[in-house]
Amino acid sequence: MRNYWYPIAYSGEVAERPVPFTLLDEPKVLFRDDRGQVGCLIDRCPHRSTPLSLGRVVQGRLECPNHGWRYRADGGCTKIPSQSPEKAIPKSAAAQSFPTREHLGIVWVWPGDGFASAESAEAGDLFQIPEFGTPEWTYVQSSFDLNIEHELLIESFLDPTHLPFVHDGRLGGSRDEAAPVALELLPYSRGIRGNFTSSTSAGESKPFQLLTFEPPCHVRLEVEIRPGWRAFSVISCVPTRASKMRALVRNFRNFMLNEGSQDWAMLRQVQEAFAQDLAIIQGQRARLGPDGSPWQGCAVATDGLALQYRNWLTKSLAHPNERIAMTRAAEA
């Protein structure tokens, strides 16, 4: 789970002050240097383990609040006020640093094996949103810090059959109109993808939702609201610490592009949907099996995507420093 790029914060959130965060149970801190580039360091001063995030940024250097030691974005220590400027700064004074990128208006961090590993990763390794920045699409963004396991939320997103029940009358119709749903697994080289269709009263099938998961934590949900009106959501479920996560959410649409009221409507809908999902997932947590999995051995065909994700996650947790390929399982 470590050798991937993880989205941490929207670019505008990293400004004049240090930004603390936790990723995979490890505290880190973001800051901008004198060139405007974002750096990421372990949130612990090598001197006396003071959280660097409690300090300040001075002339593009992150200053420890305890003794004023200053650090570059690459972790190099540039100043120790208590010793003479002529005295060499020991190499042991360097803070551990992590590769960063700004992409899609988001700051990304690679928590894995260091710069060599990140630089050797393929150029297309960062998650992509082809529609981002194009004039045909607009979006709203939000974020949520949640006290749940990130995998439970991902599994929920990969299962649209919960929509008419958990989000009754809001998303995907109502529980009284819930219809049989079929899943078609689709080829996708970067992860897993499935097309869900539902049955009509006339016995025909109609598009319901196209879902995609891309490691390590990204879900894309696409729907057609009416002919020509398309919308999709991209949710990155970032594991922060045990039983905690942060969701970065962007909701795109290709209609009513300049309608501020539509922006607010989408944001309200997202907030309501997260609150409803959270209530269900917190109930799941209280009933989890000893292995931490909600699955009780009675899956059905429409659970195909969520089961493939769970299989990938289990292997990834067993080998946290390896990149585990997603394999398409046979349809249930």
Domain-wise residue ranges, the chain? 6-125, 138-318
74-83, 103-112, 114-123, 299-308: which range is least confident on average? 114-123
Q: Does domain 138-318 have CATH number 3.40.50.720?
A: no
Each residue of 123-168: pLDDT tens digit?
A: 668 999 999 999 999 999 999 999 999 999 999 999 989 988 998 7
Each residue of 250-280: pLDDT tens digit?
A: 999 999 999 999 999 999 999 999 999 999 9
Compute φ and ψ for 101, nearest 5 degrees: -145, 150
Give CATH superfamily name and number for 6-125. Rieske [2Fe-2S] iron-sulphur domain (2.102.10.10)
Each residue of 57-111: pLDDT tens digit?
A: 999 999 999 999 999 999 999 999 999 999 999 999 999 999 999 999 999 999 9
Could you give the C-alpha distances from 176 to 164, 179, 259, 277, in angstroms and in order? Answer: 8, 9, 32, 19
Q: Whole-prediction pTM value?
A: 0.93
